[in-house]
Copies of this chain bind each other. A is one copy, B any other.
Amino acid sequence: MDLLLLSNSVLPGTEYLEYALPLLKAQLGGRRKVVFIPFAGVTQSFDAYTDKVRLALAELDLSITGIHTVDDAPAAIAAAEIVMVGGGNTFNMLKNCRERGLIEPIRQAVNNGALYVGWSAGANLACPTIRTTNDMPIIDPGGLDALNLLPLQINPHFTNALPAGHQGETREQRIRELLVVAPELEVIGLPEGSWIAVQDGHAQLGGDKPALLFKASQPAITLAAGHHFF
């Protein structure tokens, strides 16, 4: 299994996906043929989203096909060397993937050796469920189960800060609610600028910040940068 799961797409002061370029370079190997899944993009067209990613990754010399442009999407996924899933609204993404019958083809492609790259909502899709998304439920995804490529629930864009004076739940409080109704899950609070890379059966925390691991009925566990999950 070969996964690159990024918390987010942009770091302050850098271009779109710029911080991901060296990570992608390191993990690509000889693979160049990408299907891009743009369905998390809601306020931009799927074409525009695909073009934006092409531009951001131009120096990698990839061949990027938007999955919305092909007639036989499962076949295109089966033939892909890289499955890339962009961020945006997780509910809209999962609904589209489910309705178009892409869940099982993506899982199979990755099990057969394709590299899975996802950021934000795309990182969530690789988890057992999307129950740790921060997004608004703008549409019913037809169930919360996702790809289950990784045995951890990523909470992307993790921060426990609230805007000054705000009375809403903190991120940890929200995750604690999840762990009451689903104590079998383990949740990684993945800060912006961090990622999880899975290669050769091992998973490592990337980036220069610690992440938090939340388990039911236990205090949060701090995972140092570079932590090996398994």
Contacts and interface: CB of A to CB of B under 8 A. Distances in A.
Given A173-B43, A180-B42, A181-B92, A167 B137 contact: no
B168 A157 contact: yes
A104 interface: no
A161 interface: yes
A81 interface: no
Contacts of A43: 173, 176-177, 180
Contacts of A159: 163, 166
Contact of A143 (B140, B164, B178): B140
Nearest to A145: B140
What copy number does this chain have within its complex? 2
A10 interface: yes
B192 A139 contact: no
B10 A167 contact: yes
Contact of A157 (B130, B138, B167, B174): B167
A144 interface: yes
Contacts of A135: 169, 174
B165 A163 contact: no
Given A43-B176, A134-B168, 12 more contacts: A8-B167, A10-B167, A12-B165, A42-B177, A88-B177, A135-B169, A138-B177, A139-B181, A140-B144, A157-B166, A162-B163, A166-B192
Interface of A: 8-12, 42-43, 88-89, 91-92, 130-140, 143-144, 157, 159, 161-169, 173-178, 180-182, 192
